[in-house]
Structure 1
Amino acid sequence: MGRRPARCYRQIKNKPYPKSRYCRGVPDPKIRIYDVGMKKKGVDEFPFCVHLASWEKENVSSEALEAARIACNKYMTKFAGKDAFHLRVRVHPFHVLRINKMLSCAGADRLQTGMRGAFGKPQGTCARVSIGQVLLSVRCKDNNAQHAEEALRRAKFKFPGRQKIIVSGKWGFTKFSRADYLKYKNEGRIIPDGVNAKLLNWRGKLEGRQPGKALAPPPKEA
């Protein structure tokens, strides 16, 4: 018996139903890899960032997430190079979908109970997404910006509903704008932390700081 189409489960109707000790026998989600490309490249390597955001409140199946990841990865690998980007899937399919299987063989009328005891068995998983929630993010160098946008445009066709491609004003996956990141870096206040970065502030004990690392707070405007 084939998988029931994802259009049957697209709308968010019920409460979240995650895998637990009460909800057992859940099949593994189709998507197993959430970071693709040069995921260990430092925060300085890839300044450009673009997001694919959902513009509808809906369920997105794990199969759709995997198909979008493959489409985006394939395009970026072909046109930008396999070591020129980092793709991250930003949602996880934790919501369990159920199916109340009906028998369709000969003589099924005697065995079938119809809507009596209709609470179904786990069939698959999906991610519950809201309006404006980011589904995929790509960071790369500025010269590959067009390729990243085109890769996400192709990934859009794997999802139901509407999505928007949003070019981020931040530096890579950090929370700092590009201007702020360069300013803090020149001041020596940026601490690289993998694909992200921390900001060295002026709180804490002065004796615990390294020489030259203790920073005065910015002057207050009168």
Structure 2
Amino acid sequence: MGLRPGRCYHKVKKKPYTRISLRKPRRSFVKGVPASKIHQFEMGKNKDYPLKFFLQSKENVQIRSNALEASRVTVTKHLNKNLGPENFFFKVLIYPHHIMRENPMATGAGADRFSEGMRRSFGKPIGQTARVKINQKIFMVKVPSNSEKIVKTAFKRASKRLPGTYKIIGG
């Protein structure tokens, strides 16, 4: 089964569904959760830079782990190309804890014979999202002076890969 569009999961709805045991995965409340797509949360060299920028959310939204990974790759690629790998520090400030569920629907010829419809419709875990509140910071970048324009273009490119609307703060 393919990946559903992000619009199916970007709204923050009910209670968070997060109960996973790391020590004893067989005894956890939520079983069979696929791994998060984002693994690296800090890139570049962590030094004292004069400028600090944040990408901040303007609305409540859920961000999938694969969208976070795509935007992380976009920012680091742009900063590496224009500033070099030693001249910036980038950090992802959120973690995808919430587990998405899907009730798979059978389609095609003869699907009505083995499809259960809305009976037992709780759904199986299919991925993870980060729940973001209004004005919550998502990314942080520290850069040397005279590189404000580079960071703003990197954040604009990254925000195109994320659901919702965002603003760039700092300087």
Calculate the TM-score normalised by the size of structure 1.
Answer: 0.71
The Cα of 1:117 is off from its aligned counterpart by 0.7
Measured on the aligned residues, the alpha-carbon RMSD in Å equals: 1.2
Match of 1:122 in 2: 125
What amino acid maps onto 2:16 in structure 1? P
Given the alignment, which residue of 32, 39, 51 partners 2:39?
A: 32
Q: Name the SS of the counterpart of 1:110 in structure 2.
A: helix
Q: Name the SS of the counterpart of 2:43 in structure 1.
A: strand
Higher mean C-alpha deviation, range 105-114 or range 19-28: 105-114
Unaligned 5+ segments in structure 1 are 169-222
Rounded to whole Å, the distance in 1 between the matches of 2:58 and 2:153 is 18
The Cα of 1:145 is off from its aligned counterpart by 2.4
- The answer to whether 1:82 aligns with 2:85 is yes
Q: Name the SS of the counterpart of 1:7 in structure 2.
A: helix
The Cα of 1:106 is off from its aligned counterpart by 2.8
Q: Name the SS of the counterpart of 2:94 in structure 1.
A: coil
Please give the residue correspondences for 1:42-61 in structure 2 after superposition, counting only pairs within 5 Å.
42=47, 45-61=48-64
Match of 1:133 in 2: 136
Number of residue pairs aligned between Structure 1 and Structure 2: 164
Q: Name the SS of the counterpart of 2:95 in structure 1.
A: coil
Calculate the TM-score normalised by the size of structure 2.
Answer: 0.91
- The answer to whether 1:94 aligns with 2:101 is no
Rounded to whole Å, the distance in 1 between the matches of 2:90 and 2:19 is 27
Q: Name the SS of the counterpart of 2:146 in structure 1.
A: helix
For the Cα contact (< 8 Å) 1:68–1:155, is it kept in 2?
Answer: yes
- CA deviation string 1:60-115 (max 9, x = no partner): 11111111101100110011111100110111100000000112243221111100
Q: Name the SS of the counterpart of 1:104 in structure 2.
A: coil
Identity %: 40
The Cα of 1:15 is off from its aligned counterpart by 0.4
Q: Name the SS of the counterpart of 1:143 in structure 2.
A: coil
Q: Name the SS of the counterpart of 1:148 in structure 2.
A: helix
The Cα of 1:11 is off from its aligned counterpart by 0.8
For the Cα contact (< 8 Å) 1:19–1:26, is it kept in 2?
Answer: no
The Cα of 1:142 is off from its aligned counterpart by 1.1
Match of 1:2 in 2: 2
Match of 2:25 in 1: none
Larger Rg: 1
What amino acid maps onto 2:63 in structure 1? V
Q: Name the SS of the counterpart of 1:82 in structure 2.
A: coil
